[in-house]
Amino acid sequence: MDHPASRYVDVNLVPWQERRPGVHWKVLWEEPGSERRAILMRYEPGATIPRHRHVGDEQIFVLEGSVSDDTGTCTAGNYARRPPGCVHTVVSKTGALVLAITTGPTEPV
C-alpha cells in the first residue's frame, strides 16, 4: 500500500520574495488549490503589514526578534494564533524571523 511520504525542504534553496516593503517570505509548503501554507517570514526593523482580516487561521512561532499587533507582542520562542475573522496590523520594531502556518487568505480592511 502506498502512503504519502515525508517532505523535506532545503530552506536555503527557497528564494526570499519581498511581499511588502521590508517583509520577505519563503513559501516552504503550499497545498495545491488552497491557501494552506507554511511560510518563513523575515521582517526588517520597522516593517509593517497594513490592517487586514484573516479569512482562515494563521498560527505563528517567532524564531528571532518580535512582532506586534493590536492586541500584543509575540517574542522569540513564543506562539500566537490569529483565528478566522481576526483584524489587525502587524509591525516589527526590531525585526523578526517567523514561521507562519496559514489555512486561508487575508483581505484588506
Whether the per-residue pLDDT at 1 is higher than 80: the answer is: no
Residues forming beta bridges with residue 102, ordered by sequence position: 37, 58
Q: What are the tens digits of pLDDT across the range 47-73?
A: 999 999 999 999 999 999 999 999 999
C-beta atoms surrounding 24 within 10 Å: 17
Q: Domain 16-108 in CATH: superfamily?
A: Jelly Rolls (2.60.120.10)
Reference 80, options 96, 107, 99, 56; nearest CA is 99
User: What share of the chain in percent tops pLDDT 70?
Assistant: 100
Model-level pTM? 0.92
Mean pLDDT, all residues of the chain:
95
Q: What are the tens digits of pLDDT across the range 77-103?
A: 999 999 999 999 999 999 999 999 999
Are 50 and 89 in contact by the 8 Å Cβ rule? The answer is: yes
User: What share of the chain in percent tops pLDDT 90?
Assistant: 91
How high is the pLDDT of residue 52?
Answer: 97
Domain limits of the chain? 16-108
Reference 40, options 53, 52, 30; nearest CA is 30
Indicate the pLDDT class of residue 33, thresholds 50, 70 and 90. confident
